[in-house]
Structure 1
Amino acid sequence: MAALVGLGPQLAEFPEERGPVRDALWYCDLTTSPDGRPVSLRTRTAELRARRGPDDPVVRALTDNGAERERAVRRTESLLLPVLSGQNGDAGHGRRHG
Structure 2
Amino acid sequence: MNEAERIEKLTGEVAALNAFCLALIGAYPDRAELARHFNGLVESLTAQSLAMPVPELRLQGMRDFASGLQEAIRRYDELASAARSGSRPAADGTAQL
Q: What is the TM-score when the length of structure 2 is the normalising length?
A: 0.37
Instruction: Determine which structure has the larger strand proportion and give its number.
Output: 2
- Indicate the structure whose relative CO is greater, using CA pairs within 8 Å and at least 6 residues apart: 1
* Greater Rg by CA: 2
Instruction: Determine which structure has the larger helix proportion and give its number.
Output: 2
